[in-house]
Amino acid sequence: MSGAPCFYGTRLPVSSLFENLEDGVSIDEWLGAFPSVTREKAIAVLEYARNRMLEPVA
């Protein structure tokens, strides 16, 4: 995937989760479309992004 971060064990880019959420797709709909990604993995990505956004900028 040209170096794009992907969900572990898949070729599905993490960005697809954010793009779909931005387009109004619910996480349940997204998970239904990509059964190779568990809810736990999707939530972990969202939590990681949130935590990175909350880190102070140096």
The CATH number linked to 29 is 1.10.10.10
- C-beta of residue 42 within 8 angstroms of C-beta of residue 17: yes
DSSP 25: -
Structure tokens of 27? 């996480």
How far from 45 is each of 28, 51, 58, CA to CA, in Å? 15, 10, 23
What is the number of domains present in the chain? 1
Distance CA 16, CA 20 (A): 6
- Report pTM: 0.85
Copy the structure tokens of residue 33.
Answer: 């479309």
Per-residue pLDDT tens for 1-58?
579 999 999 999 999 999 999 999 999 999 999 999 999 999 999 999 999 999 888 7
